[in-house]
């Protein structure tokens, strides 16, 4: 059983590699290392004691993708590769549509040619836009009223659904991630953003490490219990295990299956900051700041479908997420060398 991971050297991809290898599967990675480092691969190999092929290629390069399928028997693809900075996508929409959509088309075209018709796609809760009700279920209406980044996630969902409609052999699993944080318990791999982090947890850990002076909590006047935004933070190892379960589903079924991957619990930005300080006995200097453009007040998942159909449920609580994020940052002050 061999699984191709596109973007398999990234934060989420490297955690999935560990879970797949530990479940006895073979792994093949393609990554252009635009937002990841080869050191992540070495660390995964150190943790698991297993080596696997890594192709330093761009998914938009059809010949390169064909070569991977010619050289390996791929049973299933986990498609994670793509650009993911929300703000940057507003500035550089052409880059985002090219990088995220063209790559997916090339990938699917080659998969079809090689008779590999099982794909698990890394989608996002961003496809729900600003939901009218929480928690969101997989039936909650999706919205294209987001950013170019968010639209690429939604368009890819549509593309994959159309492909599955056209050929009943395809198995398409759309995983809508909520807010992944945390790191592998070893502290050897974790999130390693380039430059100043956009996302909350890497910003918090870099403030804790003294690399950044102070956290700004964006918005205190939202219609939420404490006025700060509410999100569904999920431990990246739980998220990775959701992929292992999804592979079993994809191998045994055809058609389209959509799952929310979160914990089902909403915590506010303030609660996360408080939990981080308590879990790690460390003070985070922070200030209240105006709302960040484009943020929605609150979103968290109803994950009962994944529990019912995949037998999957997040195991780690917020405390463990905060502990593991800090453990990673503390042990790797410069990130992955
Ligand atoms: C969470 C909350 C911020 C930074 C985005 C994408 C999503 C997914 C993850 C990516 C918000 C607040 C943040 C800071 C803060 N995609 N915040 N100070 O916006 O929920 O989701 O990232 O790869 O698709 O939309 O995550 O971590 O950026 O923000 O107060 O310095 O933390 O305003 O309320 P978000 P986030």
Calpha distance 75→154 (Å, rounded): 25
230 ligand 1 Cβ < 6 A: no
- Show the tokens assigned to 1: 């059983």
Backbone angles phi, psi at 291, to 5 degrees: -55, 150
| Segment 99-137, tens digit of pLDDT | 999 999 999 999 999 999 999 999 999 999 999 999 999
pLDDT of residue 337: 80
In this structure, which residue's CA is closest to atom 13 in ligand 1?
200
Give the residue-averaged pLDDT of 191-196. Answer: 94
Q: Which of 36, 292, 297, 318 to mutate to test the pocket of ligand 1 (most atoms within 8 A of CB)?
A: 292
86 ligand 1 Cβ < 6 A: yes
Mean pLDDT (the chain, rounded)? 98
In which element (H, E) is residue 257 found? strand 255-261
CB 105 within 8 A of CB 159: yes
Nearest ligand 1 atom to alpha carbon 179: 9
| Segment 268-282, tens digit of pLDDT | 999 999 999 999 999
- Show the tokens assigned to 131: 């939901």
The pTM for the full model equals: 0.98
In this structure, which residue's CA is closest to atom 24 in ligand 1?
126
| Catalytic residue, candidates 96, 149, 222, 267 | 149
Using the mean position of ligand 1's atoms as its centre, give its distance from the Cα of residue 129 in Å. 13
User: How sure is the predictor about 93, in pLDDT bands with cuts at 50, 70 and 90?
Assistant: very high
- Show the tokens assigned to 155: 């368009």
User: How sure is the predictor about 3, in pLDDT bands with cuts at 50, 70 and 90?
Assistant: very high
């Amino acid at each position: 059983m061999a699984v191709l991971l596109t973007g398999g050297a990234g934060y989420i991809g490297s955690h999935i590699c560990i879970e797949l290898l530990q479940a006895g599967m073979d792994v093949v990675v393609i990554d252009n290392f635009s937002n990841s480092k080869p050191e992540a691969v070495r660390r995964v190999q150190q943790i698991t004691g297993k080596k696997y092929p890594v192709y330093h290629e761009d998914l938009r390069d059809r010949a390169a993708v064909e070569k991977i399928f010619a050289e390996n028997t791929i049973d299933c693809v986990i498609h994670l590769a793509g650009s993911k900075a929300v703000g940057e996508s507003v500035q550089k929409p052409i880059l985002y549509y090219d990088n995220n959509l063209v790559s997916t088309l090339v990938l699917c075209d080659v998969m079809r040619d090689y008779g590999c018709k099982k794909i698990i796609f890394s989608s996002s809760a961003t496809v729900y836009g600003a939901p009218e009700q929480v928690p969101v279920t997989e039936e909650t209406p999706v919205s294209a009223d987001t950013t170019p980044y968010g639209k690429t996630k939604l368009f890819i969902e549509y593309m994959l659904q159309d492909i599955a409609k056209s050929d009943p052999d395809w198995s398409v699993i759309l995983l809508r991630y909520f807010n992944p944080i945390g790191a592998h318990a070893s502290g050897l791999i974790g999130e390693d953003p380039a430059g100043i982090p956009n996302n909350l947890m890497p910003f918090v850990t870099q403030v804790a490490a003294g690399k950044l002076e102070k956290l700004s909590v964006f918005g205190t006047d939202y219609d939420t219990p404490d006025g700060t935004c509410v999100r569904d933070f999920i431990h990246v190892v739980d998220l990775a295990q959701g992929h292992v379960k999804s592979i079993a589903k994809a191998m045994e079924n055809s058609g389209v299956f959509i799952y929310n991957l979160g914990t089902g619990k909403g915590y506010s930005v303030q609660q996360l900051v408080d939990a981080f300080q308590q879990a790690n006995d460390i003070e985070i200097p922070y200030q209240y700041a105006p709302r960040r453009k484009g943020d929605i007040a609150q979103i968290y998942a109803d994950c009962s479908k994944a529990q019912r159909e995949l037998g999957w449920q997040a195991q780690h609580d917020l405390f463990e997420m905060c502990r593991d994020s800090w453990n990673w940052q503390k042990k790797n002050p410069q990130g992955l060398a």
